[in-house]
Structure 1
Amino acid sequence: MQDLSSSLAWRGDHFCGRFRAMASPCELLIDCQDEILARRILDSAISETRRIEQKYSRYLPDNMMAQINNGQGQPVAIDDETYRLLQFANTCYELSDGLFDITSGVLRRAWKFDGSDRLSSAEKVQALLPLIGWHKVNLDEKTLSMPPGFELDFGGIGKEYAVDAVAKLAMQIAPKHSVLVNFGGDIQVTQPRAAQQPWQIGIEDPNRDDHALKLIQIRHGGLATSGDARRFLLKNGIRYGHILNPKTGYPIVGAPRSVTVAAEHCIQAGMLATLALLQGPDAKDFLEAQGVCYWICE
């Protein structure tokens, strides 16, 4: 069934499909001339994105995340997909020495990154720190349990996971056609285009609205950007981005304005971009040590 909130347009040598999900503009560039095939890819992408969002959004009252977050210390049954996502979150936690922690979403109660100068109070932050700590979560292939008051938040990996899932689905539907999946700047390209020309992607300049910092040519793989272009606080000349240190409860200071990373898959690129920002002023050294292709905007 066609999603009425979506659009599909011919762009001269490819189709462009658009819809909105996960609080982001979502776009598919489809390297084919068959409108029926392009529509099938787009509609399948919308269905898969909605499925993931409805399953893992922390804003919905009766989904998988709600069951986990309302477990009150009791074991909650999880499925294979959820277990794999949690295992990936565990990998991020270990690689970052505890700085990437999906239990730290509770800090949103203390911080609102709306561009104002309103920093949180120490009392609010300190009150939340006992509710953070992935190491306190018990996980196996079938169940998850965590201390009462704890919450999980897939916000740091959910969109990238959806991008990869949609790209995989597009590859199954159209194995001979290149599809670029772009959800708010998180990108995956299924394979090179038929004529071998690259897709061109602009990296947003965090210092200038509607301006590309750099044009990147991409033929295959993932690309993700993390930064403070839209979510920040500014007080006494100091800019506080929305990336929070779960150990202190405060924003990371001294990080680049944005980090873009290329990797085999979007979720890997997103993880590395976020982990880099969590290093603060050492972001570049971290990326160099990973041996990945990256772009930094100070």
Structure 2
Amino acid sequence: MSEPASHSASISLSREPGYWAGRFMAMASPCEVLIEQATEPLARRIVDAAAACAWRIERKFSRYRADSVVHMINSNAGRAVALDAESAALIEFGATLTQMSEGRFDITSGVLRKVWTFDGGSVVPTQAQIDAVMSCVGWRHVEWRNPVLRLQPGMQIDLGGIGKEYAVDQAAARVEDIAPGCSCLINFGGDVVVRNPRQDGQPWRVGIEAWGREGTAVRLVHLNRGGLATSGDSRRFVLHQGRRYSHIIDALTGWPVPDAPHSITVAADTCTQAGTLTTLAMLRGRDCEQFLRESGARYWIQLSREQSE
């Protein structure tokens, strides 16, 4: 199925030194696809396919769309719903992350947005407000017999914590089907994947944005293949009485993770794997680096001011 004309018209394609660059918006993020050694028609086909993949996943799993699977699940809280294979796989992955994080990550914790708004403002909810919402948080309250899901009344799921990395990997797989062996860098809002090395042997270079300095790279990461994901509080936070609260919430407490660094970037075999490691590391707060060292992955941490002093 082709994308609506309004979507297709929003894709740009330009020739840069050594590669084609396609750009579009998806999942509230700027997205780009860099393509080496391709004709213009092939480059356009690749970018169109990556954008269509991003828009399809956004349409299917966004909590903001009334026609999404997530909205259907949340609207049926209290009743069992049978899911398609792709939706069930994402739910299963979310359940696995909950187990790996010992409950600190939880796809039912999205209801906490009713009391937390990470828009750079200064409003912090009271403990009573958090407690009222926490009664609807907890994977342990969910009945899950793949592919049948039943939430308790008042509960919701939110796949925003895993959806973008999944979309990047799916787009890369689609591009590989269209142009096997073509070296592309796919970047959806800072979540990145490269499937094949460049022909000249040079890596793709990806900048890690310096905290507090939008558009400025604090480090360049060289990627020949694999995924890169970053988690941080540069744009989503609350600043209250001199204290900065990150949007990374511990689902066990309903409060932002204490002593978390400003950002963590991880390189792994896929973007989904990299995103998993950044999430699990962030949820460990001050112990994040020990976890990352033990994982064996490449990582880069930007500490908060208090941690660096």
Give the TM-score band, short-chain normalised.
over 0.9
CA distance in 2, matches of 1:106, 1:259: 25
Give 1:12-161 correspondences, 5 Å limit.
Answer: 12-161=17-166
RMSD of aligned residue pairs (Cα, Å): 1.1
CA distance in 1, matches of 2:177, 2:141: 39
Does residue 1:207 correspond to 2:204, yes or no?
no
- Can you list the C-alpha shifts for 1:119-156, whole angstroms capped at 9, x where unaligned? 11222111001100112212223311111111000010
Count of residues paired in the alignment: 298
CA distance in 1, matches of 2:57, 2:199: 30
- Asked whether the 8 Å contact 2:115–2:129 carries over to 1, the reply is yes
Amino acid at match of 2:53: E
Amino acid at match of 1:267: T
Does residue 1:291 correspond to 2:296, yes or no?
yes
- Asked whether the 8 Å contact 2:21–2:33 carries over to 1, the reply is yes
Amino acid at match of 2:50: A
Amino acid at match of 2:282: L
How far residue 256 of structure 1 moved from its aligned partner, in angstroms, is 0.6
CA distance in 2, matches of 1:247, 1:149: 18
How far residue 207 of structure 1 moved from its aligned partner, in angstroms, is 2.8
Which of structure 1's runs of 4+ aligned residues deviate more than 6 A?
Answer: none
How far residue 292 of structure 1 moved from its aligned partner, in angstroms, is 1.1
Identity of aligned residues (%): 47
CA distance in 2, matches of 1:44, 1:264: 22
Comparing 135-144 and 39-48, the one that deviates more:
135-144
- Asked whether the 8 Å contact 1:190–1:220 carries over to 2, the reply is yes
- Can you list the C-alpha shifts for 1:212-239, whole angstroms capped at 9, x where unaligned? 1101110100000000001111223221
Query: Which runs of 5 or more residues in structure 2 are unaligned?
Result: 304-309
Q: 1:278 aligns with which of 280, 283, 296?
A: 283
- Can you list the C-alpha shifts for 1:12-60, whole angstroms capped at 9, x where unaligned? 2110000001000000001123010000111111111111111000001
Amino acid at match of 1:43: D
Aligned equivalent of 2:306: none
Amino acid at match of 1:269: A
Give the TM-score, by structure 1 length: 0.97
Amino acid at match of 1:137: V
How far residue 88 of structure 1 moved from its aligned partner, in angstroms, is 1.0
Q: What is the DSSP-based 3-state SS (H/G/I as helix, E as strand, rest coil) of the residue aligned with 2:135?
A: helix
- Can you list the C-alpha shifts for 1:237-271, whole angstroms capped at 9, x where unaligned? 22110001111111112111000001111011111
- Asked whether the 8 Å contact 1:92–1:100 carries over to 2, the reply is yes
Aligned equivalent of 1:219: 224
- Asked whether the 8 Å contact 2:77–2:156 carries over to 1, the reply is no
Aligned equivalent of 1:166: 171
Amino acid at match of 2:40: E
How far residue 86 of structure 1 moved from its aligned partner, in angstroms, is 1.1
How far residue 195 of structure 1 moved from its aligned partner, in angstroms, is 1.4
